[in-house]
Structures are given as C-alpha cells and as structure tokens.
C-alpha cells in the first residue's frame, strides 16, 4: 500500500515538473496561449482544467477497465477501438456540466472565461492525459491515474500562471513589432520548456 | 456480437451522459420565479435565468436598446438597486466609475437570478410599441432613403422634435432593434418619417432599404432627452453630419410652423456634393424663415463638384467661421463622435455653455 502511495506521489511530481503536459509534451497550447494574458484568467482556467482532468481521468479509467477492455467485468468483448469516441463523449459531457456550474455559482468567472470553457472539450491536454493513462506500458492503477490527472492539471496551472506573469511584464518590454503578442509568447514558452528540462532526472516517470 | 456490444455500450453511455446533463440543467440553471420591481411599482414575476432587458421587454417596458441585447451599444442603462449581482466585464466598457458606484448597469447583461429592484427614467415607462405601414419611400442621396410610416396601432404618437424611435428589425432568432431619429415635425401625429443611410452589412439599414410601400414596420418610442428651448429669442444652432440630418429636419420643420421668426443656423457636413441632401427643401424653408441660415460644407469635394458654391472643409470649421461669440443660444449636434467632439470644442470657443449643447452620437 505504501509503495503505491509512493508511486503515486512520484507520478504526481513527475507530471507537474518533468513530464509537464504543456512544456514537455506541448499539449494544450492553444488555450494556454489564449488564457495566459492575465493572471486571473490563468488561475480560473488552470483550476478548471485540473478539475476536469482529474474527474474525467477517473471516470474514463473506470469505463475503460470496466467496459472497454477485453475481459472487462461489464462487457467481455474487446471494445478498445471505441476508446477515443467514449473518452471524448465523457469529457464533453463533463465540461458542459462544469460550464453550467460556473454560470450558476460564479457569473463573473463565467464571463471572463467565456469561450475557453468549451475549448477545454477539445483541449488535447485533457484527451492526452486520458489516453496516456491507459497506456499498457505504464499499467496505472486507480490511485496512480488520479495522481497523474491531478499532476497534469497542476502542471498546466503552473505553466499558465508563470506564463501570465511573464506576459504581463512583456507588455512593457520593447518587443519588435513582428513578434508582439503571440510571437514572443511562443518563444517564451519554448524557453520555459528548456528551463523545465532542467528537472529531467529528478523523478522518473 | 461485437457490433451489438459496441452499439449497446455507446448507447448506454450516451444516454447516461445525456440524462445527467438534463438533470444538471434542471438543477443548476433553474432559478425559479423572481420578482422584479421597477420604480417602486408593483413587482412583476419572471422566470429567472433570462436577461433583465428581456424581462422588461416581455413586460412591455421598452427601455432603449440599439444593439438588441448584444452588449455593444450601451443604451440600456438602468439603475439596479438590489439583486443584480456583480458588475460583469462586458459592462465595464460602457459604464463610468461614478455610474458603477451608483449601481448603474446594462440591462442586457444583468441576468435575473433573484428578486431585483431597479430604477429607470419615468419617460421610459411611457414608451409604447407602434405598428405602421410604409406609405412612401425614396432615395434622397445615393445611399440614404427617406421612409414615410403611417401609424396603424396606436394611431397617434406624441414626440418632441429631436427624438428617435427604435425600429424592430426581423432577424433570424430574436428580433433586434435599431435606433433612427424621427425626421418629421411633431405636429404630424399620425405618421413619422425616417432617414436611413445604407450601412454595408448593417441589419437595420438593409431591412429598411428593402421595405416597400404596403409593408408593415414595428417600432418602439419615442426616446431621446433633447428638449427644444421654447424661448423665441434663443438662437438655435444645429450641427449635423451624414444621417444627422434627420433630427435637424424635425426641429427646423417644427420651428417653421411654430416660430418662423426664430434665429436658426444649420451647419451640415457631407463628403461630396452627391451626399448633400435636402438642398431645395432648406432653400424653401429659408423663404419661410427669414432668420434661418443654412451652411453645407463638403469635406472631400469630388472633381465633378467644381460648380459647388458652398463651403468646403469640415463642418465644425464652418461653425467657427460663421458663428458669433456669446449670445443666448441652444445647440443640437448629431453625427459621428469625431464631429461632435470637434464641434463641442468650437462651441466652447464661442462661449456656448456646455449645458446648452445637446449631442446625439451614433
């Protein structure tokens, strides 16, 4: 039991630092670039992504191992070819739920994040995490999946907030006209990714 | 066997998700009945979840709204005393700090989620919805159309010169409204005239350039805070550009009947000679009003306009050239924001107090 917890903790740390879904695998870039303009939207988006990633990872883990896999308890037939379809449906439904909850409980955040919430549906970071966690080479259990989902979400949150801080300073910097806005943002992302490479070897995933 | 299981699994999963979302919708998006109280009147009840603007319109309280609830015109300001929630980012673009402190909000952005109390101008409560029939329509310049609307229900409208109406433009989805100044004098109560300039892609101008005599048009009104000074000695200065001619026509045609000896100056700015409208009509008005002076200024005269004997340049420069300093007067401006800003500066140079200057921006 304690070794599973250890593994889970290691996975959590690795997902945030070494195998950052955004900076190491470059998934989820479009919403990252759009939302990292202000700190407020970065926080909101990061938390939303974390929440959705953890919940959908757990849900999809249950569905994958309970229904889709060959010999699964609920359906013995091998239905793994339905994986992407099922995962996307679950993510989409879940995001819809999150949007409704936002609108009910925090209209200001709902207005601020506006278009980005539906974008989480097709955010490849979330689908990426879901698909990676069922990778047979890793053989994640439930706890490891939860840790991986949480770690990826937090890694996304970390990268987005750091980016927001940097971009707020970039607004006052003397950037060449051709690079202003997205150009310099992407360059800075690359530099951040190189910085995060420094974590390589800290934990092995 | 595999086909059946695949289909079954997908259907069950899809169905479960759909059921979950419907339940969430019922639970989360259901705000229940909310009581809305306007100006200390009896509160009325609406189903929560919609915008305040929709709730008011459903109750036939037609506050001004030019963009039809999209949050792009800033006309639908109301003072929410309680129950409005926090100010949204979409509203901040149209509200000044003092207005926000006073509780002024954009009705089209405020969602009714709980009991609400608000205050609006009393004359908005008198605004009605009218249906009218197009009796005549003609082009007065290459892109501006004069439309005559004969009222059917209610048969009469009471308005002040310089006010505007909001025409209901049928559109896919919810109907939308666009504001147009009334160009006919208030003496004529059973009909209104509108001047519509065709804006490429504009939903209101496209609709109004297409309606033919016999077609039915609906509008709400009258709106507008301009009050004409009745003092027969106060000089009236009208400065307009483009479609700003409409309210000027209403004011001057009204004065031609009510106070023909009133000193008036009309400054109208257009780009080329073919954009200048109603030259003959104002010539005729000048015969009836000996103290009416009309100045047309062309800012970009085309080469074909060599025979133009009027002014050239921007209209506010004409004002500077022809308006004397000081004196009892009232000014009415109607045109693009740049023109209004420049003209306000010139009027200040001529010692016209700011509170005597009224501007209709579009």
Task: Label residue B158 exposed, middle or buried (CB < 10 Å: 0-12, 13-18, 19+).
Answer: exposed
Q: What is the pLDDT of residue A54?
A: 93
Q: Is residue A44 part of a domain?
A: yes
CB-CB under 8 Å, A75 with B86: no
Q: Is residue A165 part of a domain?
A: yes
- A90–B24 C-beta distance less than 8 A: no
* Cα-Cα-Cα-Cα dihedral sign, residues B211, B212, B216, B221: positive
pLDDT in tens, A9-55: 889 999 999 889 999 888 988 888 888 888 888 888 888 889 889 99
pLDDT of residue B230: 85
Contacts of B50 in chain A (CB under 8 A): none
Interface A–B counts its CB contacts (< 8 A) at 60
Kindly identify which residue of chain B lies nearest to residue A66, measuring between CA atoms.
Answer: B9
pLDDT digits (tens, 9 = 90+) for A54-113: 999 999 999 998 888 887 888 888 888 889 999 999 999 988 888 888 888 877 777 766
- DSSP bridge pairs for B79: B104, B119
Q: For residue A114, what pLDDT is reported?
A: 63
A204 within some domain? no
Q: Which domain holds residue A24?
A: 2-198
Please judge whether B9 and A86 are an interchain contact, meaning their C-beta atoms are less than 8 angstroms apart: yes
Distance CA B153, CA B175 (A): 19
* Nearest chain B residue (CA) to A108: B88
For chain B, positions 106-135, list CB contacts with chain A under 8 A.
111, 113
| pTM recorded for the entire structure | 0.67
**Residue A103 to residue B28, Cβ atoms within 8 A:** yes
Alpha-carbon distance B24 to nearest alpha carbon in chain A (angstroms):
7
**How confident is the model at residue B224, as a pLDDT?**
85
pLDDT of A1 above 60: no
Q: What average pLDDT does range A173-179 have in this prediction?
A: 90
C-beta atoms of B29 and A100 within 8 A = yes
* Model pLDDT, residue A205: 61
**What is the nearest CA distance from A203 to chain B, expressed in angstroms?**
37
Q: Do A107 and B86 touch (CB under 8 A)?
A: yes
Nearest residue, CB atoms, A77 vs list B2, B24, B29: B2
Strand pairing category for B292-298 and B191-197: unpaired
- Any idea what the Cα angle at residue B229 is, between residues B226 and B233, rounded to 5°? 150
- Say if residue A25 is exposed, middle or buried (CB neighbours under 10 Å; 0-12, 13-18, 19+): middle
Does A33 map to a domain?
A: yes
Q: What is the pLDDT of residue A186?
A: 92
**pLDDT score, position B133:** 95
- List, for residues B61-82, the tens digit of each pLDDT value: 988 887 778 888 788 899 999 8
Burial code (b: 16+ CB inside 10 Å, e: under 16) for B253-265 equals bbbbeebeebbbb
A97·B89 Cβ contact <8 A: no
Mark yes or no for CB contact B29/A67 under 8 Å.
no
Could you report the per-residue pLDDT of A98-111, keeping only the tens digit for each?
A: 888 888 887 777 77
3-state secondary structure A111-140: HHHCCHHHHHHCCHHHHHHHHHHCCCCCCC
pLDDT in the model for residue A162: 94
Q: Closest CB to A112: pick one of B18, B24, B89.
A: B89
For residue A78, the chain B residues in CB contact (below 8 A) are 2
Mutation to test the A interface, candidates B1, B13, B52, most A Cβ within 10 Å:
B13
Low-confidence ranges of chain B (pLDDT < 70): 173-174, 305-307, 361-362
Q: State the pLDDT at residue B124.
A: 87
To the nearest whole Å, the CA of A22 is away from the closest chain B CA by 29
What is the distance in angstroms between the Cα of B170 and the nearest Cα belonging to chain A? 27
- State the complex-level ipTM: 0.75
pLDDT tens-place string over residues A118-162 = 778 778 889 999 999 888 777 788 899 999 999 999 999 999 999
Chain A contact for B24, CB < 8 A?
yes
Nearest alpha carbon to residue A48 among A104, A108, A121: A121
Residue closest to B67 by CA, chosen among B55, B53, B86:
B53
Among the partner residues B2, B20, B90, nearest to A111 by beta-carbon distance:
B90
B58 touches chain A (CB under 8 A): no
A158 domain residue, yes or no: yes
Q: What is the pLDDT of residue B362?
A: 61
**Domain membership flag for residue A79:** yes
Question: Exposed, middle or buried: residue B85 (CB in 10 Å: 0-12, 13-18, 19+)?
Answer: middle
Measure the CA–CA gap between B344 and B350, rounded to whole angstroms: 10
| Total domains in the fold of chain A | 1
Nearest CA in chain A to B109: A111
């Amino acid at each position: 039991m304690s070794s599973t917890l250890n593994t889970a903790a290691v996975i959590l740390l690795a997902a945030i630092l070494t195998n950052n879904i955004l900076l190491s695998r470059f998934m989820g870039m479009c919403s990252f670039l759009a939302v990292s303009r202000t700190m407020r939207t970065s926080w909101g988006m990061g938390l939303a992504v974390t929440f959705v990633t953890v919940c959908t990872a757990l849900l999809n883990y249950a569905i994958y191992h309970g229904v889709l896999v060959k010999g699964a308890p609920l359906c013995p037939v091998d239905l793994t070819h339905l994986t992407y379809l099922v995962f996307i449906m679950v993510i989409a439904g879940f995001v819809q739920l999150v949007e409704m909850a936002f609108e009910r409980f925090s209209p200001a955040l709902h207005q601020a994040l506006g278009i980005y919430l539906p974008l989480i549906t097709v955010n490849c970071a979330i689908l990426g995490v879901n698909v990676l966690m069922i990778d047979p080479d890793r053989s994640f259990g439930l706890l490891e999946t939860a840790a991986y989902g949480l770690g990826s979400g937090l890694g996304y949150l970390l990268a987005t907030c750091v980016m927001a801080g940097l971009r707020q300073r970039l607004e006052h910097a003397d950037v060449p006209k051709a690079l202003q806005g997205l150009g310099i943002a992407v360059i800075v992302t690359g530099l951040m990714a190189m910085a995060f490479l420094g974590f390589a070897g800290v934990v092995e995933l | 066997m595999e086909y059946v299981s695949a289909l079954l699994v997908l259907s069950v999963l899809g169905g479960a998700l759909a059921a979950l979302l419907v339940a969430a919708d019922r639970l989360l998006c259901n705000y229940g009945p909310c009581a809305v109280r306007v100006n200390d009147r009896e509160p009325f009840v609406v189903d929560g979840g919609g915008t305040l603007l929709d709730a008011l319109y459903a109750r036939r309280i037609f506050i001004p709204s030019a963009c039809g609830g999209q949050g792009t015109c800033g006309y639908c300001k109301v003072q929410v005393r309680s129950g409005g929630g926090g100010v949204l980012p979409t509203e901040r673009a149209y509200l000044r700090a003092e207005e926000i402190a006073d509780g002024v909000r954009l009705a089209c952005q405020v969602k009714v989620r709980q009991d609400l109390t608000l205050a609006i101008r009393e004359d908005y409560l008198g605004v009605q919805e009218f249906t009218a029939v197009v009796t005549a329509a003609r082009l007065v310049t290459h892109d501006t159309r004069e439309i005559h609307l004969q009222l059917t229900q209610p048969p009469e409208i009471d308005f002040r010169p310089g006010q505007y109406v909001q025409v209901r433009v049928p559109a896919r989805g919810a109907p939308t409204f666009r504001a147009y100044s009334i160009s006919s004098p208030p003496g004529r109560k059973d009909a209104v005239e509108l001047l519509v300039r065709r804006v490429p892609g504009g939903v209101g101008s496209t609709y109004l350039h297409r309606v033919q005599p016999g077609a039915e048009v609906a509008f709400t009104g009258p709106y507008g805070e301009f009050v004409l000074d009745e003092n027969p000695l106060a000089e009236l200065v009208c400065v307009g550009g483009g479609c700003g001619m409409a309210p000027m026509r209403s004011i001057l045609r009204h004065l031609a009947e009510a106070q023909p000896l009133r000193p008036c100056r009309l400054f109208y700015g257009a780009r080329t000679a073919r954009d200048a409208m109603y030259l003959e009509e104002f010539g005729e008005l000048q015969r009836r009003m000996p103290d009416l002076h009309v100045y047309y200024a062309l800012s970009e005269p085309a080469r074909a306009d060599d025979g133009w004997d009027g002014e050239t340049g921007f209209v506010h420069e004409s004002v500077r050239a022809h308006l004397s300093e000081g004196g009892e007067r009232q000014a009415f401006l109607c045109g693009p924001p740049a023109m209004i800003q420049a003209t306000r500066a010139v009027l200040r140079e001529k010692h016209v107090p700011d509170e005597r200057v009224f501007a209709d921006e579009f």
